[in-house]
Chain A
Amino acid sequence: MRILIVEDEKELSGSMVKYLQQENYLCDTAFNFGEAMNKVETYEYDCILLDISLPDGNGLKVLEALKADRKTDGVIIISAKDSLDDKIAGLKLGADDYLPKPFHLSELSARIEAVIRRKSFQGSNALVINELNFDLLARVVMVNDQAVDLTRKEYDLLLYLASNKNRVISRNAIAEKISGESADVYDNFDFIYAHIKNLKKKLSAAGCEDYIESVYGIGYKFTIR
Chain B
Amino acid sequence: MKLLKKTIRRYLVYSVILLLVEIPIFYVVVQQLVLQGVDRDLMATKELLKPKIGEAVVKNTLGQLQFADRNVSISITTVSRVYDSLASVEIFDSATGRNVPHRILTSSFSINGKPCVLQVKTSLLDNFSLIANIVKIQLALLVLLLLGLFLINRNLSKKIWGPFYHTLGRLQRYNIDQHEALSLEQSSVKEFNDLNRSLEGLARRAQDAYISEKAFTENASHEMQSPLAVLQSKLELLMQTTPLTAEQAQLIGELADAGRRMSRLNKSLVLLTKIENKQFANVEMVTLRPVVLSLLQQYDMQIREKSLDVTFKPGDDISLNADRALVEILAGNLLANAIRHNIPGGKIHITITGNRFRICNSGSETPLDEQKIFNRFVKGGNDNNSIGLGLAIANTICNIYHYKLQYSFVANMHCFTVISVFSE
Q: Say whether, besides A172-B260, A195-B301, A216 and B249 are in contact (CB < 8 Å).
A: yes
Nearest A residue to B268, CB-CB:
A184
Q: Is B205 an interface residue (CB 8 A)?
A: no
Contact A219–B230 (Cβ < 8 Å):
no
Interface residue B110 (Cβ < 8 Å from any Cβ of A): no
- In the assembled complex, which residues on chain B have CB atoms less than 8 Å from the CB atom of A182? 295, 298-299, 302, 332, 336
Q: In the bound complex, do residue A19 and residue B390 qualify as a contact, i.e. CB atoms below 8 Å apart?
A: no
Interface flags for A3-15 (1: CB within 8 Å of B; 0: not) read: 0000001011001
The contact string, 1 if C-beta is below 8 Å from chain A, for chain B 8-20, is 0000000000000
**CA gap between A187 and B235 in the complex, in Å:** 19
In whole angstroms, what is the CA distance A167 to B252 when docked? Answer: 15
* Complex interface residues of chain B between 224 and 257 (CB less than 8 A to chain A): 225-226, 228-237, 239-240, 244, 246, 249-254, 256-257
Q: Is B304 an interface residue (CB 8 A)?
A: yes
* Majority secondary structure, B binding face: helix
Is B404 interfacial (CB 8 A cutoff)?
no
Interface residue? A26 (CB, 8 A): no
Q: How large is the interface on A (under 10, 10 to 19, 20 to 34, 35 or more residues)?
A: 35 or more
Contact between A102 and B249, CB atoms less than 8 A apart: no
B229 in complex: contacting residue of A9, A186, A215, A218, CB < 8 Å: A9
Let me know if A215 and B230 touch, CB within 8 A: no
Any chain B CB within 8 A of the CB of A188? yes
Q: C-beta contact mask, B49-79 vs A, less than 8 Å → 1, else 0?
A: 0000000000000000000000000000000
Given contacts A102-B263, A184-B264, A217-B246, A191 and B305 within 8 Å (CB-CB): yes
Q: How far is the CA of A18 from the CA of B235 in the complex (A)?
A: 12
Task: Tell whether, in the assembled complex, residue A167 and residue B240 are in contact, meaning their CB atoms are under 8 Å apart.
Answer: yes
Whether, in the assembled complex, A177 has its beta carbon less than 8 Å from a beta carbon of chain B, the answer is no
Closest to B239 in A: A168
B residues near A205, Cβ cutoff 8 Å? none
Contacting residue for A218 out of B252, B267, B279, B333, CB 8 A: B252
* Cβ contact within 8 Å between B267 and A184: yes
Q: Complex Cα distance A185/B333, Å?
A: 7
Question: Which residues of chain A are within 8 angstroms of B240 by Cβ–Cβ distance?
Answer: 19, 22, 167-168
Chain B residues numbered 32-60 whose CB sits less than 8 Å from any CB in chain A: none
Q: Is the beta-carbon distance between B332 and A185 smaller than 8 angstroms? A: yes
The A168-196 residues at the B interface (CB cut-off 8 A) are 168, 170-173, 178-182, 184-188, 190-191, 194-195
- Contact A101–B332 (Cβ < 8 Å): no
B256, B261, B336: the one contacting A185 at CB < 8 Å is B336
Q: Report whether A82 and B267 are in contact in the complex, using a CB–CB cutoff of 8 Å.
A: yes
Interface 0/1 of B263-292, CB less than 8 Å to A: 110011010001000010010000000000
Chain B contact residues (Cβ within 8 angstroms of A): what range? 35 or more
A12 to chain B: which residues have CB within 8 Å? 226, 229-230, 233
Given the contacts A188-B340, A190-B305, A106 and B385 also touching, CB distance less than 8 Å: no
Chain B proximity mask over A98-141: 1 for CB below 8 Å, otherwise 0: 00011111100000000000000000000000000000000000
Task: Determine if B332 and A170 form an interchain contact, defined as CB atoms under 8 angstroms apart.
Answer: no
Partner among B230, B267, B282, B340 whose Cβ is within 8 Å of the Cβ of A186 = B340
Whole-angstrom CA separation of A9 from B230 in the bound complex: 8
Which residues of chain B are within 8 angstroms of A103 by Cβ–Cβ distance? Answer: 229, 232
- Give the shortest distance, in Å, between B324 (CB) and chain A (any CB): 10
Q: A19-B236, A22-B240 are in contact. Are A187 and B260 (CB under 8 A)?
A: yes
- Return the contact of A188 from the options B222, B232, B253, B383 (Cβ within 8 A): B383
Most B Cβ at <10 Å: residue of A82, A185, A190:
A185
Complex Cα gap A191–B340 (Å): 13
Residue among A9, A12, A104, A171 with the highest chain B CB neighbour number at 10 A: A12
Question: Does B144 reach chain A (CB closer than 8 Å)?
Answer: no
Pick the contact of A191: B226, B301, B325 (CB < 8 A): B301
| Residues on the B chain within 8 Å of A188, using CB | 302, 305, 340, 383, 385
B339: interface (CB < 8 Å)? yes
Does B229 lie within 8 Å of A172, measured CB to CB? no
Task: Point out the residue from B231, B232, B253, B268 that lies within 8 Å of A171, measured CB to CB.
Answer: B253
CB <8 Å contact, B260 and A216: no
Residues of B with C-beta under 8 A to A11: 230, 233-234
Q: Tell me if B236 and A106 are in contact (CB < 8 A).
A: yes
A162 to chain B, nearest CB (A): 17
* Shortest 6 CB-CB contacts between residues of A and residues of B: A15-B233, A217-B250, A102-B229, A217-B253, A191-B305, A186-B336
Partner-A contacts on B (CB < 8 A)? 222, 225-226, 228-237, 239-240, 244, 246, 249-254, 256-257, 260-261, 263-264, 267-268, 270, 274, 279, 282, 295, 298-299, 301-302, 304-305, 325, 329, 332-333, 336, 339-340, 383, 385, 387, 390
7 contacts between A and B (CB under 8 A): A15-B237, A19-B240, A104-B236, A153-B301, A185-B333, A216-B246, A217-B250
A12-B233, A15-B234 known; 17 new pairs, CB 8 Å cut-off, are: A15-B233, A15-B236, A22-B240, A82-B270, A101-B228, A168-B239, A168-B240, A179-B302, A182-B332, A185-B390, A186-B302, A188-B305, A191-B304, A217-B246, A217-B254, A218-B239, A219-B253
